[in-house]
C-alpha cells in the first residue's frame, strides 16, 4: 500500500490550493448548479414546491404571455448585437486604423476615444438621458437651433427610436475598447510586412483588406466574442434609460431585464417566480456559451500565426 506522507512541500501546496478551490466551488460552481436546479422546480414566491421537470422551460418558450415576451426580448438582443457590431466594433476598427496611421493629433485622440470607457455606466446612462430629454435635451435643442425642429423627437418615448437611442449611448461609451484592442493588434504587425506592401501599392484600401484586417484577426476574435456576450447580457443602460419594463411597451426590453423582472418581480407586476427566472437564466447561459464557442472556434481558424 503506497504511503501518503504529508511532506513539507505537499502540505504547502495543499494549503495554498484548497482555500481558492473552496472559494471557487462555493461562489461560482455552487450558484451555477443551484440556478440549474431551481429551473426544474415550481415556485410560489420564494417557496420551493414540486419538481416539475422541463415545464418552466416550456412555459417561457411556448406559453403566452411569456412566449411573446421572450421572443421580443431576444429579438431586441439580436438588434443590439448587430447594431453594436457595426457602431462599436466597426467604428472601433476605423478609429484604431486612424490612430495607428498617426494622423495629426493622434496622441490626444487616443486618450479622447478611450476616456468614455473609464466612465461609470450609471454616469453615461444619466448623461444620455439628459441629452435625449424632450424639452431641455441637447439633442432636440441643437436640432431646433439649426432649423431642423421637426426632427426633434421624444427619443426615449417612441418604440421606433428608444432602443436605437440607447444603442447609440452604448456605442459612445464602449467604442474605445475595441479601438484599443485593434490598435494593439495593428501595432504588433511587423514593419517588414508593411515595408513590403509599400513596394507594391500605395492604396490604403488594399493595405487594410489584404494586410491589416487579416493580421488583426486575433483582436477581432476577442472583441467579437466579448461583444456577443456583452450584447446578450446587456442590462445596465436599458435598465437606467428605459426602466425595468423596457419602456415604452417593451421596445427596450432585453433578456437581462426580462430575466430580472421574472425572477425578482417588479413593483408593477407583484409576482416573482424563481423557477421561470432560473429557466430563462439557464437558456441564456446555454445560448451564449454555445454561440460564443462557435464564434471563437470559427474566428480562431482564420487567425494567422506570425
Q: Does 228 bind other proteins (CB under 8 A)?
A: no
Look at the block and give the residue holding cell 483582436.
219
Q: Does 44 bind other proteins (CB under 8 A)?
A: yes
CA atoms within 13 A on the CB side of 14: 7
Helix (H, G, I), strand (E, B) or coil at 105: coil
Q: Please, what is the minimum distance in Å from the beta carbon of residue 245 to other proteins?
A: 4
Q: Please, what is the minimum distance in Å from the beta carbon of residue 119 to other proteins?
A: 21
Which span sits near other proteins by CB under 8 A: 59-67, 207-215, 218-226, 281-289?
A: 59-67
Q: Does 250 bind other proteins (CB under 8 A)?
A: yes
What is Dmax (Cα atoms) for the chain? 90
Q: Which among 184, 265, 278 has a CA at the least distance from the CA of 222? A: 184
Q: Which among 131, 130, 94 has a CA at the least distance from the CA of 113? A: 94
Contact string (CB under 8 A) for other proteins, positions 60-99, x = contact? ----xxx---------------------------------
Q: Please, what is the minimum distance in Å from the beta carbon of residue 54 to other proteins?
A: 19
Candidates 117, 143, 152, 292; binder of other proteins (CB under 8 A) is 152
The answer to whether residues 238 and 252 touch, using CB atoms and an 8 Å cutoff, is: yes
Q: Which is nearer to other proteins, 41 or 213 (CB)?
A: 41
CA distance 273 to 240: 23
Q: Does 269 bind other proteins (CB under 8 A)?
A: yes
Q: Does 135 bind other proteins (CB under 8 A)?
A: yes
Q: Which among 201, 266, 203, 255 has a CA at the least distance from the CA of 72? A: 255
Q: Does 270 bind other proteins (CB under 8 A)?
A: yes
Q: Does 224 bind other proteins (CB under 8 A)?
A: no
Q: What's the grid cell of residue 85?
A: 457590431
Q: Please, what is the minimum distance in Å from the beta carbon of residue 82 to other proteins?
A: 24
- Other CB atoms within a 10 A radius of the CB of residue 18 amount to 10
Q: Does 123 bind other proteins (CB under 8 A)?
A: no
Candidates 58, 67, 109, 133; binder of other proteins (CB under 8 A) is 133
Q: How many amino acids of this chain bind other proteins (CB under 8 A)?
A: 39
The answer to whether residues 268 and 245 touch, using CB atoms and an 8 Å cutoff, is: yes
CA distance 255 to 284: 8
CA distance 78 to 243: 19
Q: Which is nearer to other proteins, 82 or 126 (CB)?
A: 126
Cα distances (angstroms) measured from residue 164 to each of 80, 157, 233, 241 = 8, 11, 17, 12
Helix (H) or strand (E) holding 252: none
Q: Which is nearer to other proteins, 90 or 265 (CB)?
A: 265
Which residues are 273's β-sheet partners?
45
Candidates 30, 51, 62, 249; binder of other proteins (CB under 8 A) is 249
Q: Which is nearer to other proteins, 125 or 175 (CB)?
A: 125
The residue ranges that bind other proteins (CB under 8 A) are: 44-47, 64-66, 129, 132-136, 140, 152-159, 243-245, 247-250, 264-273
Amino acid at each position: 500500500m503506497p504511503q501518503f506522507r504529508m511532506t513539507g512541500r505537499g502540505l504547502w501546496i495543499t494549503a495554498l490550493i484548497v482555500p481558492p478551490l473552496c472559494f471557487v466551488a462555493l461562489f461560482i460552481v455552487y450558484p451555477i448548479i443551484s440556478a440549474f436546479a431551481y429551473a426544474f422546480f415550481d415556485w410560489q414566491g420564494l417557496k420551493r414546491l414540486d419538481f416539475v421537470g422541463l415545464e418552466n422551460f416550456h412555459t417561457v418558450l411556448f406559453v403566452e404571455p411569456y412566449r411573446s415576451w421572450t421572443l421580443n426580448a431576444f429579438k431586441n438582443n439580436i438588434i443590439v448585437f448587430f447594431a453594436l457590431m457595426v457602431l462599436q466594433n466597426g467604428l472601433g476598427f476605423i478609429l484604431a486604423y486612424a490612430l495607428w496611421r498617426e494622423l495629426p493629433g493622434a496622441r490626444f485622440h487616443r486618450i479622447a476615444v478611450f476616456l468614455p470607457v473609464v466612465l461609470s455606466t450609471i454616469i453615461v446612462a444619466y448623461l444620455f438621458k439628459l441629452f435625449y430629454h424632450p424639452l431641455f435635451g441637447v439633442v432636440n435643442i441643437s436640432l431646433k437651433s439649426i432649423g431642423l425642429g421637426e426632427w426633434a423627437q421624444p427619443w426615449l418615448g417612441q418604440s421606433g427610436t428608444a432602443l436605437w437611442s440607447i444603442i447609440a449611448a452604448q456605442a459612445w461609451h464602449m467604442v474605445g475598447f475595441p479601438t484599443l484592442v485593434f490598435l494593439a493588434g495593428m501595432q504588433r504587425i511587423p514593419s517588414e510586412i508593411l515595408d513590403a506592401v509599400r513596394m507594391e501599392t500605395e492604396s490604403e484600401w488594399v493595405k487594410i483588406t489584404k494586410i491589416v484586417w487579416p493580421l488583426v484577426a486575433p483582436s477581432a476574435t476577442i472583441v467579437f466574442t466579448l461583444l456577443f456576450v456583452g450584447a446578450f447580457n446587456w442590462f445596465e443602460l436599458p435598465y437606467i434609460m428605459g426602466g425595468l419594463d423596457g419602456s415604452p411597451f417593451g421596445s427596450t426590453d432585453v433578456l437581462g431585464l426580462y430575466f430580472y423582472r421574472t425572477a425578482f418581480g417588479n413593483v408593477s407586476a407583484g409576482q416573482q417566480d424563481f423557477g421561470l427566472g432560473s429557466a430563462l437564466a439557464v437558456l441564456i447561459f446555454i445560448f451564449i456559451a454555445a454561440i460564443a464557442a462557435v464564434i471563437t472556434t470559427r474566428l480562431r481558424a482564420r487567425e494567422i500565426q506570425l
